[in-house]
Amino acid sequence: MKKLFKIVLVSIIPLVLFSCYYDEFPEVIEDGDVVIDPGTDVSFKDDIAPIFVTYNCTQCHGASGQSPDLTAGNEYASLISGYVVPKNSSASKLYTKLVDGHRNVDANSIALIKKWIDDGAENN
């Protein structure tokens, strides 16, 4: 019985030590905002523009509504002309409004917008 106990104990120790291994832990800023991995490429077309659709932003920010015009095809030009400062999210109205709680946009979407702006706000 002692030998069986030793075998079980020796078998369980590696499982316990190595079962919680992660390549990387998700980065989180102290205030709880999500941080996108620096190696992630954020695309305006594939990642940012869909956020405006998800949150129905064009309800207020349409062609005849409030600026910026976030309708499909117009959103990039409208944002770059006064709402986004490439490579400086903290100076960008788009980012600061969302961080202040505008439309209750989720933290992951805000982090994507921040990364896109800080990466240069390309129309990609």
Q: Angle 122-29-50 (CA atoms, 0-180°, nearest 5)? A: 35
Q: What is the pLDDT of residue 31?
A: 38
CA dist 113 and 99 (Å) reads: 10
CA dist 27 and 54 (Å) reads: 25
Residue 29 has pLDDT above 50, yes or no: no
**Residues 53-91 pLDDT 10s:** 999 998 999 878 889 999 999 999 999 999 999 999 999
pTM: 0.72
Q: What is the pLDDT of residue 50?
A: 96
Could you tell me the residue ranges of all domains in the chain? 29-118
Q: What is the pLDDT of residue 34?
A: 77
